[in-house]
Structure 1
Amino acid sequence: MKRRLERVAIAALIAVPVGLALLGPVLVHLADAERRQPFDAAAPWPGTDYLGAPVLAGLFEGGWSIILTALAATLAAYAAGVPLGVLAASTRRRWLDELLMRPFDLLLAIPSLLLMLLLASIAPPTAWMLVAIVAVVNLPDVARIVRAAALEAAHRPAVEAMWLQGEGWWRIAAGYTVRSILPTLAADAGVRLVGAFYLVAAASFLGVGAGPESGDWAVMVDVNRGGIFLSPWGVVLPAVLLVSLSVGLNLLFDRLLSRTRTART
C-alpha cells in the first residue's frame, strides 16, 4: 500500500506540470481574455499579473518552453560533463587531469550571471543558443561533481584488474565507473534542473531566447514577485509547478536507482 501511494505521488508530481505544459496551449481559451488592472485580486481566480493579463493564461502557455529548455540544457551539460569528469578521474596522467579541470575552475570563479552576460553579449538570441548558454554555465559544476564521485571508483582493484585484462577505456568508464556513480548523478540532477530553471529565466531578461515577454513559468515568478502581497497566485502557482516537477523527477530517479541496486543484489 505504501509503495502504491509513493508511485501515485510521484506520478502526480510529474504529470500535473507536464500535462499542463502539453495541454495548456489547447486549454488557453478557457482563461479570461479581458485585460484588467495589474495584480487585480478581484479578477476571476487566480487574478492578474503585472501587466493585467490573466495569470491562468500564463500558466497554460508558459510551461512547455521552460520545461523543454531546462531539460535540454541539463541533458547537454551532463552529456559533456560526464565524459570529461570520468576521463579526468580515471586518467593516470596528471597533466591531462589538470588540463581538463583547470579551465572549469576558472569558469567557476566567475559568477554564473556574469558568465551568462558575457556569453549573451556574443550570442544570437535564439532558443538553441539559450540551451547552449545554460548548458555551458552548468558544465563546470557537473564535470567537477562527476570527477569527485568517480575518483574512488576509477581506481578500485576491480578497475585495475580490467586494465590488466586488456579492457578498453570506454568499456571500463561506461560499464563500471559511470554505473558506480549513478546515485550521485541522480541526486545532483534535480538540483541542476532547478538551477537550469533559474538560469533560463535570467537569460530571458538578458535577451537570449524568447525574452521576458515569453511569459514562461520561471519568468512569471520573477516579474510578478513585486505584487506578491496583492495577488500572490502569479508567483505561487508557477513556483509550485516548477518545484513539483523537480521533486517528482528526483523521486523517480531515486526509485529507479533503488530498483537497479535491488536487482543487482
Structure 2
Amino acid sequence: MMRIPISALIGLFFTGLYFSIAIFADFISPYGVAEIVGDAWEGPSATHWLGTDTIGRDMLSRMIYGGQTTIFVATMATLISFGLGSIFGFFAAVKGGWVDQILSRLVDLMMSIPTLISALVVLTVMPVTLPILIVVMGILDSTRVFRLSRAVAVDITVMDYVEAARLRGERQLWIIFREILPNALSPLVAEMGLRFIFAVLFISTLSFLGLGVQPPMADWGGIVKENKEGLSFGITAALYPAFAIATLAISVNLVADWVLNRTTSLKGGRG
C-alpha cells in the first residue's frame, strides 16, 4: 500500500466512498426517494443541504438513491458483459478455425451499429425495467470485452504451458479456466474499470433520453433531465449529478490506470 501513487489513492478513496454511499443509501438518506418535502428548487439550507428539485424533493436524498441505482445497474451490466465477452473470447481463441470466424464476424456485425442506437431500438419495443436495462447493456458491451479477451487469449494459447496442457490431454474448459484466465485476469481487471465507467455514462444517457431508469426511481442521468430547465434560471440542481458522474469516472479511471501500469505484461504461466 505504501507504493500506491497519490492519484490511485485518491481514486480508491472516492470510488470506495461512492460505493459505500450506494450500499448504505437506505440508512443515510434523510428522506425518501420520491418524498416531497418543500417548494420547487429551494436553495441549499440546513434542512436541505443541496436544496430541492423541480417538484420539491430533497436533492441530497435524490442524489444518494440515484447513485445507488446508477452504480447497481452499471455494476451488474459490467459483470454480465465480462462474463459473456471473456468466456466467448477465450472459447474463440482456443477453438480457432470456423468457430473463431463465426464468433468474430458476429461481433463485428454487432459493433458496426452504434451501441446507443441499438439500445434505443431494443428499449423502444420492450418494457423498460431494471433487469432488461441491465441485460441489454451487458450484451451490447460484451462485444468490446470479447475483442480484448480474444486478443489476450490468442497470445496466451501459443505459450509453452498451454501447449503442455494440451499434450497432457486436458479438456478445453480446463485450459480456459486454469491456464488462460489466470494469466489474462490482470488486463481484464484494468479494462473492467473502463467498461464500468462506460456503463455509468450509458445508463445516464438512456435515462436522460427517457428510456433508462423510470420514475419514481432515481438515477443521475434522470435527475439531470428533470432539473435541466432550472439552468436557465441559475438553478444548479442539474449540476450535482453531472458532477457526481464526472468525479466517479475520474476516480475509477485513476484506479484503472494504476492497475494497468502494474500489469503491462502478461504474467508467466504456472508451469
Could you state the TM-score of these two structures normalised by the residue count of structure 1?
Answer: 0.80
Q: What is the CA distance between 1:36 and its match in structure 2?
A: 2.8
Do structure 1's residue 64 and structure 2's residue 65 form an aligned pair?
no
Between the aligned partners of 2:87 and 2:145, the Cα distance in structure 1 is 10
Between the aligned partners of 2:226 and 2:258, the Cα distance in structure 1 is 31
Q: What is the CA distance between 1:74 and its match in structure 2?
A: 0.7
2:245 match: secondary structure: helix
Pair 132,111 (structure 1): closer, same or farther in 2 beyond 3 Å: same
2:207 match: secondary structure: helix
1:87 aligns with 91
Between the aligned partners of 2:15 and 2:240, the Cα distance in structure 1 is 21
Pair 207,57 (structure 1): closer, same or farther in 2 beyond 3 Å: same
1:99 aligns with 102
RMSD, matched Cα: 3.4
CA contact (8 A) 1:23 1:60 kept: no
Pair 252,69 (structure 1): closer, same or farther in 2 beyond 3 Å: farther
Deviation digits for residues 128-186 of structure 1 (CA, Å, limit 9, x no counterpart):
11111101110111111111111111122322222111111111111111122112101
Between the aligned partners of 2:5 and 2:158, the Cα distance in structure 1 is 41
Between the aligned partners of 2:104 and 2:131, the Cα distance in structure 1 is 26
Q: Which amino acid aligns with 1:141?
A: R
Structure 1: gaps of 5 or more residues: none
Q: Which moved more, 1:232-241 or 1:171-180?
A: 232-241
1:2 aligns with 2
Between the aligned partners of 2:195 and 2:9, the Cα distance in structure 1 is 24
Could you state the TM-score of these two structures normalised by the residue count of structure 2?
Answer: 0.79
1:211 match: secondary structure: coil
2:30 match: secondary structure: helix
1:2 match: secondary structure: coil
Pair 205,239 (structure 1): closer, same or farther in 2 beyond 3 Å: closer
2:171 aligns with 168
Aligned residues: 258
> Percent same amino acid among aligned pairs?
25
Pair 150,191 (structure 1): closer, same or farther in 2 beyond 3 Å: same
1:243 aligns with 249
1:184 match: secondary structure: helix
CA contact (8 A) 1:224 1:234 kept: no
Q: Which amino acid aligns with 1:23?
A: F
Pair 244,219 (structure 1): closer, same or farther in 2 beyond 3 Å: farther
Pair 21,149 (structure 1): closer, same or farther in 2 beyond 3 Å: same
Deviation digits for residues 186-242 of structure 1 (CA, Å, limit 9, x no counterpart):
111011001111222233356556326532124335555662964274245422553
2:199 aligns with 196
2:38 aligns with 34
